[in-house]
Amino acid sequence: MAALTEEQSMIRDQAKSWVSEQAPVNSFRKMRDDRVPHAFVPSTWTAMVDMGWTGIVVPEQYGGSDLGYLTFGVVLEEIGRQLTASPLFTSSLVGASALVIGGSEVQKQQYLPKIVDGSSIFTFAIDEGPRHNPRELKSTVTKDGSGYLLSGDKTFVLEGMTATQFIVVAKCDGDVRMFIVEADANGVSREPLATVDSRGYANVHFSSVRLTEENVIGGADEMQAVLDRARAGLAAEMLGTGCQAFDMTLEYLKTRVQFGQVIGSFQALGHRAAELFSQMELSRSCIEGALQAIDAGTNDIEEMSALSKARAGDFLFNMSNQLIQIHGGIGMTDEFDAGLYLKRARTLETAFGNRAFHKDRYARLMGF
């Protein structure tokens, strides 16, 4: 575990306390059962804004606290533990990162304060098929007089129905470009998707959406930098989800009695728990290493980001499977929380590239 500063430790403790008391997993279950519009509770989002979480990676001159990505990762881990649903990741980490990295001064002044106060919800629209593949883009932006026309379809856009702005990745004269697109612009339409993890995904369609130079927010290099931050941040949330699954499993091993003794005393199950603990701590080291690399601006951010997402994917896949298996019959029921963690695990694993994607990417970056 990284040595947290006193401020980071305080934020972690605040996040753990608030999430456990105000937004626990049973609140997520109620939201799912009640089919709350946009798949998050507005009061939860308001509380996150009030606590300052939306400004963690935003510079102070735009209303943020500029506390860095490791601090954001600490918060995302606690959110992942309780499956708390909100636009925090997609808007305040991914959207804010895109503006900080690629935005003009005018764009930063216009949008970053709105991300901090929660009045704007940004999301990143990149994928166009069932799998994450930034190298194959069919969305196009063509010159039209002094401006541009954007056309194309984006799939599985996080918080796609709630977003007030999209950051759309498209091809322009053969080059990859990013554009800020207002959600209410002419030619933008979206349809909600029903997913196993009961979150607010959407397919978004762009039909000759008129843009100007003021909408451009960077090219391929900026896109890659945003993706690296998104993947490391998402890995931190995955770690939290896996850690909670581990804690639930460990508690069951300590209390479930079979054949006259607690099942945790059986050697095979003890070995299984030890292996899962090792995977958890290895994942933590990789994830916190990636977030620290981003904060420090080192030259191995791409490698560390790929490693963190791959390791988090391996751990969460195995841990969510063992959560079900060790709990046996009750693990298969909807009334027990294990199924919620399994479903969330599967969608987190595929978002911004699955384990195979990042293992291949890591190998290529390392020269194999």
pLDDT recorded at residue 38: 87
What does R_g of the chain's alpha carbons equal in angstroms?
A: 21
pTM for the predicted model, two decimal places: 0.95
Buried b (16+ CB within 10 A) or exposed e, 145-165: eeebbbbbebbbbbbbbbbbb
Q: Which of 119, 136, 154 is the last residue of a domain?
A: 119
Our CA angle for 53, 288, 225, nearest 5°, is: 75
Residue 264 lies in a domain: yes
**Are residue 226 and residue 292 in the same domain, yes or no?**
yes
Cα separation, 109 vs 15, whole angstroms: 28
Strands (E), the chain: 122-125, 140-144, 147-157, 165-172, 175-182, 188-192, 202-211, 216-219, 257-258, 261-262
The total number of structural domains in the chain stands at 3
**Would you tell me how many other CB atoms lie within 10 Å of the CB of residue 217?**
23
Residue 95 lies in a domain: yes
Which residues, including other chains, have CB under 8 Å from residue 243's CB and lie 6 or more apart? 77, 80, 81, 280
**Are residue 186 and residue 314 in the same domain, yes or no?**
no
- pLDDT tens-digit profile of 205-235? 999 999 999 999 999 999 999 999 999 999 9
Is the pLDDT confidence value at 2 over 70?
no
**Are residue 135 and residue 166 in the same domain, yes or no?**
yes
Contact status, residue 113 vs residue 49, Cβ threshold 8 Å = no
Query: Which DSSP symbol is given to 328?
Result: G
3-state secondary structure of 212: coil
- Give the residue from 169, 102, 103, 181 showing the smallest Cα distance to 140: 169
Question: Can you tell me the mean pLDDT for 304-332?
Answer: 93
CATH number at residue 31: 1.10.540.10
Residue 1 lies in a domain: no
Query: Which DSSP symbol is given to 329?
Result: G
**pLDDT bucket at 268, cuts 50 / 70 / 90:** confident
**pLDDT bucket at 3, cuts 50 / 70 / 90:** confident
**Are residue 242 and residue 359 in the same domain, yes or no?**
yes
**Are residue 89 and residue 205 in the same domain, yes or no?**
no
**Are residue 264 and residue 337 in the same domain, yes or no?**
yes
Token look-up 């997520």 returns: 28
Q: Which of 186, 203, 219 is the last residue of a domain?
A: 219
Cα first-last separation, the chain:
29
Is the pLDDT confidence value at 256 over 70?
yes
pLDDT recorded at residue 261: 82
Question: Can you tell me the mean pLDDT for 156-173?
Answer: 96
pLDDT recorded at residue 263: 75
DSSP bridge partners of 203: 191
Question: Can you tell me the mean pLDDT for 345-352?
Answer: 96
Question: Can you tell me the mean pLDDT for 156-180?
Answer: 96
Q: pLDDT higher for 334 or 17? A: 17
**Are residue 352 and residue 306 in the same domain, yes or no?**
yes
**Are residue 353 and residue 255 in the same domain, yes or no?**
yes
CATH number at residue 201: 2.40.110.10
- Give the residue from 243, 210, 220 showing the smallest Cα distance to 316: 243
Q: Which of 100, 119, 138 is the last residue of a domain?
A: 119
- pLDDT tens-digit profile of 37-73? 889 999 999 999 999 999 999 999 999 999 999 999 9
- Give the residue from 280, 275, 260 showing the smallest Cα distance to 326: 275
Cα separation, 272 vs 253, whole angstroms: 11
Which residues, including other chains, have CB under 8 Å from residue 199's CB and lie 6 or more apart? 39, 85, 158, 159, 347
- As a whole number, the mean pLDDT across the chain is 94
**pLDDT bucket at 245, cuts 50 / 70 / 90:** very high
- State which residues form the domain around 209: 123-219
Is the pLDDT confidence value at 1 over 90?
no
**Are residue 137 and residue 114 in the same domain, yes or no?**
no
Please give the helix or strand (H or E) that residue 75 lies within, else none.
helix 69-82
